[in-house]
Copies of this chain bind each other. A is one copy, B any other.
């Protein structure tokens, strides 16, 4: 399963700015140990739409607990996004520095991302309308990607 990065924000054409995972952890007082370097390396290699198990598989000599712990730290620090497939199974994705949202192909699992000024404006307008204090949101789009809709199982 290959994960392609498609950037739908055709207006702002700069490449996605990825957080520096090691630096993000270090800034929060975490030590950059050998096992954490290994996990970070695997995450950067797998990039978009990986699972905790796919990291464990790639890092046989790093303990499962350490893999999960590092994922958790990186989520807390905001360097990873946790995505939920329609069936509830989780996926992780390298974040980008700017706020963004994800599309996930329900057929092949490919994760892509987009930024859209319309949705950002709409989000702000919603946040004005909801009386409670908004502390976060989740927004994911499920798609059948171009590759899956042309050839392959449909």
Q: Give residues in A with beta carbon < 8 Å to B.
A: 8, 82, 84, 86, 88, 90, 103, 105-106, 112, 114, 116, 118-119, 121-123, 125-127, 129-146, 149
Contact = CB atoms under 8 A, between A and B. Distances in A.
Nearest to A85: B138
Given A103-B132, A119-B123, 7 more contacts: A84-B88, A114-B126, A132-B149, A134-B141, A138-B139, A138-B140, A139-B140
A106 to B, nearest CB: 6
A140 B123 CA distance: 11
Contact of A133 (B8, B122, B137, B149): B149
Contacts of A84: 84, 88, 138
